[in-house]
Homo-oligomer: A and B are copies of this chain.
């Protein structure tokens, strides 16, 4: 795509047309500067078909804040909108509205609060709350959802892979199967959630990581076609990268050609005083080949070389390979944990597309508008009870039990103080019959989850290293049942009695309004 087109389509016009038609309507009605509150939340953890996530890892906030800080309406965008015509042939957007966009069309008035990036998150919990002028908060919707949904989805998938891989290194390799330039956002999500590094050169440099990778089959094929064979290719590689020699061994025949040739070249390197790095396996029965490769490498005195696996890996495949190694290695007289400790996993398509669950269903809903000095809760009555929004300004709390495990996220009205309440009366967010009471003695502590994410202080200056610390902290405090890869236990999310009662009151009122109008 042309650079000029990329810049246009990744700028402030990265939004849906209806955000702009609504913004003009608010402008026309004098509502464009009215403070409005929107919340970002999702309804269901990713379900990958035969396996399911019991949580997500929140990611994308930093990218969103950077985007918001730089993007605004300029003459270029205004010219595009000015060209749009309605059915009658007249301009769809009028000059006074476009002038206003040119003057005030940025996100400097938007306040963003919520969970910090890297934290473990759960369905129905408002993860971000946006407050700001109605028109600009509306225009923000599409981009906010785009930044948050995809990176959170990928961070979650990466966290699962890391768990399956016994925390051995995960390398992200997916750019070739990603959605265009969006693969770069996927790398960021992966690095936040569980990947150690990526093969993607540009975004790795942008984020301050070293890209990873060695060689492909094409290099071996070229040497074969030119008459030097696989051994010639490996020797050329070792000569160019004597201290970074990791060889892909399956171009011809892994066991009969690739591994013997690799060992021969490793021996040559050793004689010259270099330490070979390892091999990569990219086809065949990866568990069986890992064991065979480990045997051969050990026999040749290369027990410290890495074995990198790739080829359609996802969390279940990784989990299965490790299980098989734990079963099979002892039969061959090998210690499975020693083998696993030298393994590295290159993951491509399954990570960058979140295989099995290609989208997070995160939404951005209006929950209040400020009429003069008063915030008025906004609610949408839907046919699905689970889709009815929790109204008004809120605070989110996380409760920890006596083992210091998180047991519940609680949505409360903004000024409620769960830290000083002796007994918590908690309601299921949808089903009015389900409620429970938690006594202070049952909890080790309660934590306010919201922080101010605005610009410099909270969000944009955050680092991936800090996000990973939060992720690890939260994952440690998550019950094993919730972290289970298949059929995870459902983490509790509740409303306080006060919020529950407000919601019931508004639903009743709106239903009667619905009947009246």
Contacts and interface: CB of A to CB of B under 8 A. Distances in A.
Interface string A183-214: 11110100000000001111111110011111
Interface of A: 1-11, 13-22, 24-25, 28-29, 31, 36, 38, 63, 66-67, 70, 80-81, 83-88, 90, 92, 134, 138, 141-142, 145-147, 149-151, 173, 175-186, 188, 199-207, 210-222, 224-226, 229-231, 236-237, 239-241, 243-244, 250-253, 256-257, 261, 275, 277, 283-284, 349, 352-355, 358-361, 364-366, 368-369, 371, 376-384, 387, 510, 513-517
B382 A9 contact: no
Contacts of A178: 146, 150, 179, 182
In the complex, which of the residues A175, A514, A517 has the most CB atoms of chain B within 10 Å of its own CB atom?
A: A517
Contact of A177 (B19, B149, B180): B149
A484 to B, nearest CB: 24
A384 B285 CA distance: 12
Contacts of A213: 16-19, 21
Contact of A211 (B6, B17, B200, B216): B17
Number of copies: 2
Contacts of A377: 225
Contact of A379 (B206, B212, B221, B261): B221
A376 B212 contact: no
Contacts of A224: 378-379, 510, 513
B369 A225 contact: yes
A244 B179 CA distance: 33
A248 to B, nearest CB: 9
Contact of A150 (B134, B179, B371, B510): B179
B184 A240 contact: no
Contacts of A147: 180
Contact of A185 (B83, B179, B207, B379): B179
Given A17-B211, A222-B366, A383-B284, A183 B146 contact: yes
A240 to B, nearest CB: 5
